[in-house]
Structure 1
Amino acid sequence: MPLIKQTEVDLGRIKGVIFDLDGTLASSNPDFDSLCAELEICRGVDILKWLDDIECPDRKASANAVIHRYELESSARAEWIPGAQVLVDYLHSAGLPTAILTRNIRQAAGVTLGRLGCSIPAVLTREDAPAKPSPEGILMMCREWGIAPHECLYVGDYLFDLQTAANAGAMSLLYNVQQPVPEYAAMADMVTDDYLALVEALKLAGH
């Protein structure tokens, strides 16, 4: 799939790029079907919101331990998504700052990045900023970089990523390999299943 622009987004105005981690840079998504089955919740439920709503401390601690186990197990198997390393290296060579904003715990993100040997310097987890779809992680990085949110591109693979970008006023790119294409793809400024197509588009935009 080439890079599909769904809005009049201008790649030339990008001054910083923030990535989701699991399913975006790394093939490290937990087995959500098994996780939801073990937690006895429906697939598609916002697991972190569900966890936050649990009032019983013991039940919350038990559920949290299960979630952590799945995150760490998947992180231990992480590999680069095809083309993602080339994209990250290109952004660095172009002088564009990069960061990661993930709903992971810090420990799991560290394991994933260690396996990748990823050189992205700034990593925000749910222990560092409110979990997506809160825009705060993107806004924090934009303040640090001294750029406006509309000059930032957020790259992710799921609905929460697109909601986060929209809530922050940032540009969004959905990395999607699902067929059929999910309905939430319509929220993205751009959609692709090929990061090399994004690299070429950035070059044409003057980066």
Structure 2
Amino acid sequence: MTIHDNNIRGVIFDLDGTLVSSELDFSLIKAQVGCPLDNDLLAYIASLPSPYMREEAMNIVHQHELIDAQHAHLLPGVAEAITRLKENNIPMAIVTRNYDRAAAIKLKNNPLPIETVLTRSDAPAKPDPSALNAIATLWELDQSELLYVGDYLFDIQAAHNANMRACLYAPDEIPEYANQADYVMHHFSELPTLVDSFQENKVLC
């Protein structure tokens, strides 16, 4: 009896735009800190030449994130999907580029049965795979057995950098980078079915 290579034994989620809503205006934030529109905001701030400049820029980002956190709400189908996965004993975690205080507010106001939450305060931000790899180690599972669910290119890249499968959550328009994901999900109700499909045949005789 062998275990099928493709089974999904754990699911990791992005937070903003995946589990909860986010109204962050990145164009405005980038303008306020002087970051070119095409640059990654966090990478730009990290490249600023002095600690003072980096701190001032990050304070601006924090203010936006904290305001956004107060208004966040669970996205459609999330609570039901998470409940289904928990009932099926699928371990779950969250890895977000948000910072710890903002993420904590969002999850306090929108409680989910997910205990493991890593933010950019805990590990390098996505697409760096460090946080995803840490969770695989915590769960004592191989990365190939884990699925990462997110709504942006960095989520796909982080998953693949960690040798995990990437599920893109795209409820509205399908972005041009969707073809880089292993799966594309339009509604959260599809997630338990996707995970279940790998459980049914995971034990082969």
Q: Assess if the C-alpha contact under 8 Å between 2:6 and 2:145 holds in 1.
A: no
**Distance of aligned partners of 1:25 and 1:75 in 2 relative to their CA distance in 1, 3 Å threshold:** same
Q: Assess if the C-alpha contact under 8 Å between 2:8 and 2:199 holds in 1.
A: no
Structure 1 CA distance for aligned equivalents of residues 10 and 44 of structure 2: 32
Counterparts of residues 105-120 of structure 1 (less than 5 Å): 105-120=99-114
Instruction: Choose the corresponding residue for 1:202, options 181, 192, 195.
Output: 195
Structure 2 CA distance for aligned equivalents of residues 154 and 18 of structure 1: 5
What is the CA distance between 1:36 and its match in structure 2?
1.7
Aligned residue for 1:162? 156
CA deviations on 1:71-102 (whole Å, 9 max, x unpaired) are 11111111001111111111111101000001
What is the CA distance between 1:11 and its match in structure 2?
9.8
Q: Assess if the C-alpha contact under 8 Å between 2:9 and 2:146 holds in 1.
A: yes
Q: Assess if the C-alpha contact under 8 Å between 1:176 and 1:193 holds in 2.
A: yes
What is the CA distance between 1:192 and its match in structure 2?
1.4
What is the CA distance between 1:12 and its match in structure 2?
6.0
CA deviations on 1:159-190 (whole Å, 9 max, x unpaired) are 110000010000110001342x2121111000
Q: Assess if the C-alpha contact under 8 Å between 1:18 and 1:101 holds in 2.
A: yes
Aligned residue for 2:182? 189
Aligned residue for 1:3? none
Aligned residue for 1:7? none
Instruction: Choose the corresponding residue for 2:166, options 159, 162, 172.
Output: 172
Aligned residue for 2:86? 92
Q: Which runs of 4+ in 1 moved over 4 A?
A: none
Q: Residue type of the partner of 1:69? A: Q
Which sections of structure 1, spanning at least 5 residues, go unmatched?
1-9
The yes-or-no answer on 1:14 pairing with 2:46 is no
**Distance of aligned partners of 1:36 and 1:64 in 2 relative to their CA distance in 1, 3 Å threshold:** same
Q: Assess if the C-alpha contact under 8 Å between 1:105 and 1:125 holds in 2.
A: yes
Q: Residue type of the partner of 1:22? A: D
Aligned residue for 2:203? none
What is the CA distance between 1:44 and its match in structure 2?
3.8
Aligned residue for 2:31? 37
Q: Assess if the C-alpha contact under 8 Å between 1:28 and 1:112 holds in 2.
A: no
Provide the alpha-carbon RMSD of the alignment.
1.7
Instruction: Choose the corresponding residue for 1:122, options 116, 119, 122.
Output: 116
Aligned residue for 2:135? 141
Structure 2 CA distance for aligned equivalents of residues 161 and 31 of structure 1: 19
CA deviations on 1:111-133 (whole Å, 9 max, x unpaired) are 01011112210000111111111
Aligned length in residues? 197
Larger Rg belongs to: 2
**Distance of aligned partners of 1:196 and 1:149 in 2 relative to their CA distance in 1, 3 Å threshold:** same
What is the CA distance between 1:39 and its match in structure 2?
1.9
What is the CA distance between 1:29 and its match in structure 2?
4.5
Q: Assess if the C-alpha contact under 8 Å between 2:8 and 2:198 holds in 1.
A: no
Q: Assess if the C-alpha contact under 8 Å between 1:11 and 1:205 holds in 2.
A: no
Aligned residue for 1:75? 69
What is the CA distance between 1:38 and its match in structure 2?
1.6
Q: Assess if the C-alpha contact under 8 Å between 1:135 and 1:165 holds in 2.
A: yes
